[in-house]
Every structure is written in structure tokens, then in C-alpha cells.
Amino acid sequence: MLIKDLPEDERPRERIAAHGAETLSDAEILAVFFGTGRMGMSAVDLGRDIISKFGSLRNLSRATVAELTQISGIGPAKAAQLAAVFEFGRRLSREAFSDTPVTCPEEVYALLGSSMQSLSQESVRVILLNHRKKLIHIDEIFRGTGNESFANPSEILRRAISHAAHAMILVHNHPSGDPSPSRADHEVTKRISEACRAVGVEFTDHVVIGGESEAEMRSPYFSFREAGLL
């Protein structure tokens, strides 16, 4: 059964037009994206199958193109389009901060939390700010495993100086989901703080992004500034 064969009130595209996209389930949103299902399966069933496999849209957004193409019914073109859709959403969420000061860890989390929680590898980024603490640029310094590149402040400061930044916020993620800083995180924070003082760049904060955990009732991020460690 294809979308056109479903009762009208069950057709996702028609329901978007009549009631808005927010009324659709995650599987139905995917059905609109894919349009048609694989042989013997409707687009809605394909959407349900994908959500069942990954568990959530957040987990799906972390999938690589190669991982997406392993699902029957998703070819390289659709996989690339889906990856682009998720990246579009992440970039759109950052646009709201282009003219808004970034002054606290809650705003850092709103700016980068979603995109960094979607990563399966560690990513180190620097938020560069002007003298009014408004966003100039976001640079990814490192992605992968290990702390060698992360621990070297020279590349971070080079990015800040090249953009004439007045202040910077260091951000990195813990793919494990626990934002508690490691010993290496503490050491890196100290080294970068000293380097920033030497060149006159304000080191506003170092924020570690973890995962949301309602069961543990902990914050999804850790702020060195908020904890009095910076």
C-alpha cells in the first residue's frame, strides 16, 4: 500500500497541509521525506522500521551515510539527502544566535547541544565572540579519539586571533553521555586559560556536552565557569 492508497486522513502530506507538520509522528515525518516505501511496504511502514532500528530521531541523526544505506529501501542519494536535512536543522538552530550574546552555559548548550549530542566521536569546537559577546564564528578544532590535538592550545588561539575574537568558549562532547570532566579536561582547561591570558583573549568558559538523562536527573552539560573552576 502506497501513500495514495491510504485513507485521506492517514496521508501524512495531506495532514501537514490540513493540520501542520507538528501533528505527524516521527515515522510519518520520515514517510513524507521518502515518499514511497520499498517493495511491499508503505512509506509510513518504512518510517516505522527506521525509527525502530535507531530508537529515535536523535540516534538517526547520528548515522553516517554508509550506515543509512545499509537499510533496505534507502539508497546513497536518499541517505545523503537525509544527512543534509539533519545538518540543515542544526545550522538553522544556530542562526538564532547570530545577533544574540552568548554569555552562559545554557546558551552554549542551546547553540551546540543538539549537534554535538548527535556525534559518535569526540568533537572539540571553539565559539568565537566579539567584545559584546555576540557570535562571530564557530570552528571545529578536532574530531576523533584521544586528547593530543585537543590539549594543544596553539591551534585554538590561532583561530581566535584570525577572526579577531575578543572572547572564546571552548566546547567538546563526551559521546558516552556523561558530561563529567576528566582529568585531561581539567589539564586542558588550565593550559588554554594560561595561553589566552598571554595573548589577551578572554577565555569565557569550557563547556562539556553530554547526553540528556531524565533517569539520573543530571544536567546534560558541565560548565567549568559555573563550577568555579575557571
Which residues partner with 31 through β-bridges?
none
Do 46 and 121 share a domain, yes or no?
no
Domains identified in the chain, total number: 2
Beta-strand relationship, 221-223 and 202-209:
antiparallel
Average pLDDT taken over every residue of the chain: 83
Task: State the Cα–Cα distance between residues 107 and 105, nearest whole angstrom.
Answer: 5
- What is the rounded (10 degree) CA torsion for 63, 92, 203, 152? 30
Confidence at residue 8, expressed as pLDDT on a 0 to 100 scale: 46
216 compared with 57, residue with greater pLDDT: 57
Do 85 and 110 share a domain, yes or no?
no
Confidence at residue 229, expressed as pLDDT on a 0 to 100 scale: 95
One-letter amino acid of 3: I
202 contacts 166 by C-beta, under 8 angstroms: yes
Count other C-beta atoms under 10 Å from residue 14's C-beta. Answer: 14
pLDDT at 180 over 90: yes
End-to-end CA distance of the chain: 59
Q: For residue 162, give its domain range.
A: 96-223
Do 207 and 125 share a domain, yes or no?
yes
- What CATH number did the domain enclosing 44 receive? 1.10.150.20
Confidence at residue 195, expressed as pLDDT on a 0 to 100 scale: 93
70 contacts 64 by C-beta, under 8 angstroms: no
Confidence at residue 9, expressed as pLDDT on a 0 to 100 scale: 44
Task: State the Cα–Cα distance between residues 176 and 179, nearest whole angstrom.
Answer: 8
pLDDT at 227 over 50: yes
pLDDT, tens digit, 9 for 90 and up, residues 109-165: 988 998 888 788 899 999 999 999 998 889 888 887 755 556 678 888 999 999 999
What is the band of 89 on the pLDDT scale with cuts at 50, 70, 90? confident
